[in-house]
Chains A and B, each alone.
Chain A
């Protein structure tokens, strides 16, 4: 199965700053079938992106996704207070679908 490694584990930033999150796959992700989810404490994950760069419904454009092959990036251009959360990448191009270990974006 494909192993996803997310870095950094924790990102300490201030509101208004730019966040760059990385997701690296152990082998190429088929057809860029890479998704990003946001999870806040006590809540379920929420889909942010699919197909590496397609925003899910209702996701603001300060969020962007990019990448292909084995290297993917989630960028938040200007952090809002509600963006502090844990972010997970997931590949869904090969069975079984797998998740990364997550990056926590915390308030500095």
Chain B
């Protein structure tokens, strides 16, 4: 069955760029929308944005100025970049299948922003 797995380099310092990749296994990334969501104690669940396999994107207005989501169909992966991070960006980051309705989620990865 289709599985999603987030990966990333670990802790991020304030003002730097957070980078995460989601690898889709057991199925093709094509013909679907793919999203990033985050969860923090302070803000709960927050949808970050989605990308279609063809490359079109849609972002949460609250994060739009700092977010870039990209896709690499040859690797069956899509990625998140969030720039100029602060402690408020500390959260568990999930990738998921779907645009606004999220039908399948990865297990999530904790990203801590700290100097």
Name A residues whose Cβ lies closer than 8 Å to a Cβ of B: 33, 35, 37, 43-47, 50, 56, 88, 90, 92, 95-102
| B47, A96: Cβ atoms closer than 8 Å | yes
Q: Complex Cα distance A58/B60, Å?
A: 30
Please give, as numbers and ranges, the residues of chain B lying within 8 Å of A90 by CB-CB distance: 45, 101-102
Which applies to chain A's interface (DSSP): helix, strand, loop or mixed? Answer: loop
Given A45-B102, A50-B101, A88-B45, is A96 in contact with B62 using a C-beta cutoff of 8 Å? yes
| B: interface residue count bin | 10 to 19
Besides A44-B94, A88-B45, 7 more A-B contacts (Cβ < 8 Å) are A43-B107, A44-B108, A47-B103, A50-B101, A90-B45, A90-B101, A99-B45
Name B residues whose Cβ lies closer than 8 Å to a Cβ of A: 44-47, 58, 60-62, 94, 96, 100-108
Please give, as numbers and ranges, the residues of chain A lying within 8 Å of B96 by CB-CB distance: 44
